[in-house]
Amino acid sequence: MHECILLIEDEPALRTTLGDRLRAEKYVVETASDGNEGFDKASSYPFDLIIMDLMLPGRGGLDVCRDLRATGMATPIMILTVRNETVDKVVGLKLGADDYVTKPFEAAELLARVEVLLRRVPLHGGQGIYDFGSFRMDVRQSEVTRDGKPVYLTAREFQLLRYLVERSGSTIPRSELLRSVWGYTADTFTRTVDTHLFSLRKKLEENPKMPELFLTVSGVGYKFVGKDRK
């Protein structure tokens, strides 16, 4: 299956060249030329990744990002920015963006980052919908609900959850999680895994201090033990 990317960019030349470059890599690309059109498309169709410019007419990139996250959408978002917009960068990460690429960029670098954000594991069984009783996960729609209410997960939390759920019952070493979910090869960021896992417990466990779904395997990593009731 080819991944679908939404490109929100108001500069026609960049929209065309970047769109063509992504299509050449076999991605399915949909475009929008302003923030409102981008938000409408992003909230109407399930994309695997959204690439958007920071400065957009209508609704700015940061507003679109915040508004999409407010709907519970966990699709990875990459923001295109021009040099020296560091303040916006911090704000953007807080609002739920997953990565930044500074203009002008090398296509190869952007494509490499796109790959990291899209790195996903093949779905096995069902339609990517899991029901663990306490929470429900729809991989295709990038949605997680608890007692019928949407749970807001960051894109990384969603990817981590998906990775664990799809390997339910297996112990996954931290290093594998880092490599597969974050694209890191070094072991220096293992705290990152812990931080995200604690956050998943907080959002999805009855009692985060006495986890019943996301178990720690001492000295190794983590194991998801929820039972799919579907």
> Which residues make up the interface to Ca ion (CB under 5 A)?
10, 53, 55
* Look-up of token digits 């923001």: 79
Q: In whole angstroms, how close is the CB of 206 to Ca ion at the nearest point? A: 45
Amino acid at 111: L
Give the Cα-Cα-Cα angle 77, 164, 219 (nearest 5 degrees): 115
Task: Find out whether 55 and 35 touch, Cβ atoms under 8 Å.
Answer: no
Q: Looking at beta carbons only, is 50 or 74 nearer to Ca ion?
A: 50
| Three-state secondary-structure class, residue 99 | strand
Q: Give 3 or 37: the residue with its C-beta nearer to Ca ion.
A: 37
For Ca ion, the closer CB: 8 or 137:
8
CB nearer to Ca ion: give 38 or 221: 38
Which residue lies nearer to Ca ion by CB, 53 or 166? 53
Minimum distance from CB of 54 to Ca ion (Å)?
Answer: 7
- Four-CA torsion 177, 74, 95, 117, nearest 10 degrees: 50
Nearest residue to Ca ion on Cβ basis: 55
Least distance in Å: CB of 28 to Ca ion?
Answer: 23
CA atoms of 43 and 4, how far apart (whole Å) = 14
Classify strands 49-53 and 4-8 as parallel, antiparallel or unpaired: parallel
> Smallest distance from the beta carbon of 105 to Ca ion, in angstroms?
14
Shortest reach from residue 11's CB to Ca ion, in Å: 6
Q: How far apart are CA 9 and CA 210, in angstroms?
A: 46
Question: What sign does the dihedral 215-72-179-230 (CA atoms) show?
Answer: positive
